[in-house]
Amino acid sequence: MREDLCHSAVQLARAVGYSGAGTVEYLYDDVTGDYYFIEMNTRIQVEHPVTEMITGLDLVAEGLRIAGGEALRLRQSDIAIRGHAIEVRLNAEDPARDFAPFPGTVGSLRLPGGPGVRFDSMLYPGYQVPPFYDSLLAKLVVHGETRDAAITRMARALSELEIEGLKTTKPLFQALAADPDVRAGNVHTRWLEGWLETHAEALATASQA
């Protein structure tokens, strides 16, 4: 399947005469084995740490080399994928109030760490989160040898993370990491809407903690 997706992406780039670094995104149906083109991006994407965690490559550095005129150093056969990676985007939003923005000032701050944990952010105590722009505060990325191990590591990293002074999407991710359907992979592209309705009360309680 990976070879099919890579071949499709290369053919797409050739068809439009594209030259440079880019991302081709697909939606994969693990029941039928079918996959569907979503979009192509000609810039680095916010989820690029997931690829970096499972390949050991620095995509930003590779993109800068190409932009500087260097030839692509790697072939697809040179890239090996190891384990599973998960990224969550911590936003200054209240998940219990339909993800309403929550601007404010960051109080005390404790960041997660340890093997297989990556935290990309510019946060610091006293940082003022403005109401005018994207509410993204940080990206928390974890890696594990298995999907279940990655989810467990994510739950642990979220429990270590403390951002005082703001409501964030942290309680949502903690609840999802503990959900048996998420653990089992029994989710789909319309799953979250129903889950939010049935877990609204618990999520509101967690957001107030």
- Do 36 and 137 share a domain, yes or no? no
Tell me the pLDDT of the chain averaged across its residues: 91
Q: Is residue 143 included in any domain, yes or no?
A: yes
Higher-pLDDT residue of 160 and 41 is: 160
State which amino acid sits at residue 148: D
Higher-pLDDT residue of 45 and 155 is: 155
Most confidently modeled range among 45-49, 69-73, 108-112, 204-208? 108-112
pLDDT bin (cut points 50, 70, 90) of residue 208 is low
- The burial class, CB within 10 Å (0-12 / 13-18 / 19+), for 198 is exposed
Q: Is residue 115 included in any domain, yes or no?
A: yes
Q: Is residue 126 included in any domain, yes or no?
A: yes
- Do 14 and 112 share a domain, yes or no? no
Q: Is residue 183 included in any domain, yes or no?
A: yes
Q: How far is CA 185 from the centre of its chain?
A: 16
The residue-averaged pLDDT of 54-65 equals 92
Q: 114-141, pLDDT tens digit by residue?
A: 999 999 999 999 999 998 888 999 999 9
- Do 35 and 92 share a domain, yes or no? no
- Do 39 and 89 share a domain, yes or no? no
Which helix (H) or strand (E) element contains residue 81? Answer: none
- Give this prediction's pTM: 0.88
- Do 36 and 93 share a domain, yes or no? no
Which helix (H) or strand (E) element contains residue 39? Answer: strand 35-41
In this predicted structure, what is the pLDDT of residue 145? 97
In this predicted structure, what is the pLDDT of residue 94? 93
Q: Is residue 97 included in any domain, yes or no?
A: yes
Q: Is residue 160 included in any domain, yes or no?
A: yes
Active site residue 43: yes
- Do 39 and 90 share a domain, yes or no? no
Task: Domain count for the chain, please give it.
Answer: 2
Q: 7-23, pLDDT tens digit by residue?
A: 899 899 999 998 777 88
In this predicted structure, what is the pLDDT of residue 37? 93
- Do 20 and 120 share a domain, yes or no? no
Q: Is residue 190 included in any domain, yes or no?
A: yes
Supply the range of the domain harboring residue 15: 2-43
- Do 199 and 105 share a domain, yes or no? yes
CATH assignment at residue 116: 3.30.470.20
In this predicted structure, what is the pLDDT of residue 1? 65
Distance in angstroms (rounded) separating the CA atoms of residues 170 and 196? 14
Q: Is residue 195 included in any domain, yes or no?
A: yes
- Do 113 and 185 share a domain, yes or no? yes
Among residues 2, 14, 43, 82, the one annotated as catalytic is 43
In this predicted structure, what is the pLDDT of residue 132? 87
- The residues, ordered by sequence, that sit 6+ positions from 47 with a Cβ below 8 Å of its Cβ are 87
- Do 124 and 195 share a domain, yes or no? yes
